[in-house]
Amino acid sequence: MTNAAYADLVQEELPDLPAGNVVAEPMVRDTAGAIGLAAKILARHHPEATMAVVTADQVIEPARVLQDALVDAFEFVGQNPEALVTFGIKPSFPSTQLGYVKRAEQRACPTCKNAVYEVETFKEKPDEGTARQYLESGRYFWNSGMFVWRAATILEHLASFVPDTVKPLERIAAAWDTPDQAAILAEEFAKLPKISIDYAVMERAAGVHAIQLDCRWLDMGSFASLADVVESDADNNIVVADASELLDCRDSIVVTEDQSHLIAAIGLEDVVIAHTPDATLVCRADQTERLKELLARFESHGRKEYL
């Protein structure tokens, strides 16, 4: 699954994957819509399919930790077909920028290498004091946003909690692998509610379980996280651009998808500049958490083409 703008790039990076297995989302409808679409396509081909939902913007080291946990999750779902399994990251510091998962009792899974826990609740991003309490208790994981479940099970939950997903997904599935596939996908995908899978299902469903990942984990969904994988310059600027000129700039982040585009800046401090061929973002580094708020303004002002 990827945004339509990146479908060709994904195919280029994964040449052994059949072209029909790269599903291009025609617009952004958040994770519930994307996961619902993937589940519906899988269930159409294999009604008993079990699926893993993993993200493309996370650094996980060593990879074997996740691989072993995925095997265990498939094993557990095979024994408990109504289960929803998430992966919690063992927290290394009291983060206020991540959601948390509170574990409860351990469930039996004799064939699993990892412990499988019942999930008591999901918690929103906490303040620093609360995050410290979570860390000290030893009962909280960072929410990784990765899951394993039967495709039919997650579709049942979506139908129950977000019934507006049912008809669009049914129409898309009916047209899949037909000449009308692209047209129906574009028409019906737009009708899906824009909501994350956490809000739509995980925070409300019964039978949620978690497996802990004890590994180095970086969520690359934020600009600040680039500092963990990109070396900074002498002034602590993070630059991901072939062409840039920064004069008296410090502690700033410059990113561009257009390698022929020159980004020049003077006297900036703690600022983010992110450039794409059709839009440029400039904001203070401590305001990047408000990006969803800004995207909502795009939509309300009729600028959906930039989403």
Average pLDDT, rounded, for the chain: 91
Cα 304 to the chain's mean position, in Å? 20
Cα 164 to the chain's mean position, in Å? 22
Q: What is the CA radius of gyration of the chain?
A: 21
Domain positions in the chain are 2-219, 224-306
Q: What CATH number should be reported for the domain whose range is 2-219?
A: 3.90.550.10
pLDDT at 5: 87
Q: For 209-234, what is the mean pLDDT?
A: 80
The pTM of this model reads 0.80
Please determine, for residue 220, whether its predicted confidence score (pLDDT) is greater than 70. no
pLDDT tens figures, 52-109 = 999 888 888 899 999 999 999 999 999 999 999 999 998 888 888 788 999 999 998 9
pLDDT at 53: 97
Cα(164)–Cα(167) distance, rounded to whole angstroms?
7
The neighbouring-strand residues paired with 123 are 100
pLDDT at 159: 97
pLDDT tens figures, 283-304 = 998 888 788 889 888 888 888 7
Cα 280 to the chain's mean position, in Å? 22
